[in-house]
Amino acid sequence: MTLLIGISGSLRRHSFNAGLLRAAQASAPAGTRLEIAPIADIPLYNADVEEAEGIPPSVTALKEAIAAADGLLLATPEYNNGIPGVFKNAIDWASRPPADIARIFAAKPVAMIGASPGSFGTILAQNAWLPVLRTLGAQLWTGGRLMVPHAAKAFDAEGNLIDETVRTRLGKFIADFVASLG
């Protein structure tokens, strides 16, 4: 059984990216389980809090989920041409303490998807993740990109994917990522 951990970088209830991640979960190939890890309860990173209280339980849960997974799927929105702060914050916390970076991220296969209301999908946010993932030692899967521009047309009001062409592309993307994991 191949285990993927998916993280949506949006906290919005009817998020396009959470919907894209749910659609990826539904289209995962046989023998693959995609679990969605929440980030809503992860506090803002503060080294003083880390020193005084240690790693919060929500962060520990995220770290252990990533460490146990065969691959990581990031569903990234694009805010102001970059990575959403809450998403970067979650990954920053997951890299604490620095001694854990190798256990959590080193050589971890990572694929990115994203949906945006704009015309360019999430290409700038996906590009902005590259130096972060490189710094953590993660292994970016370069077998494809999946970006959904004009997301308001591809999702319903509750954030569910309704565009069958995107669903088909997503299914192929996930299948190709899983196949690359060997």
24-72 pLDDT, tens digit each: 999 999 999 999 999 999 999 999 999 999 999 999 999 999 999 999 9
- What six digits make up the tokens of 12? 């919005």
Note whether 65 and 91 are within 8 A (CB).
no
Please determine, for residue 9, whether its predicted confidence score (pLDDT) is greater than 90: yes
Q: What is the pLDDT of residues 65-77, one digit of tens each?
A: 999 999 999 999 9
Q: Where are the domains of the chain?
A: 2-180
The token duo for 28 is 């995962």
Q: Which residues contact 86 (CB under 8 A, 6 or more apart)?
A: 9, 10, 11, 39, 42
Q: 118, 124, 117: which is closest to 145 by C-alpha? A: 124
Give the mean pLDDT of 101-109: 97
The pLDDT mean for the chain works out to 97
Q: Is the pLDDT of residue 182 over 90?
A: no
pLDDT band at 16 (very low <50, low <70, confident <90, very high): very high
The three-class DSSP label of residue 145 is coil
> What is the token pair recorded at 156?
């319903």
**Nearest-10 crossing angle of helices 164-180, 16-26:** 60
For residue 181, give the nearest of 111, 115, 130 by alpha carbon: 111
Question: 2-180, superfamily in CATH?
Answer: Flavodoxin domain (3.40.50.360)
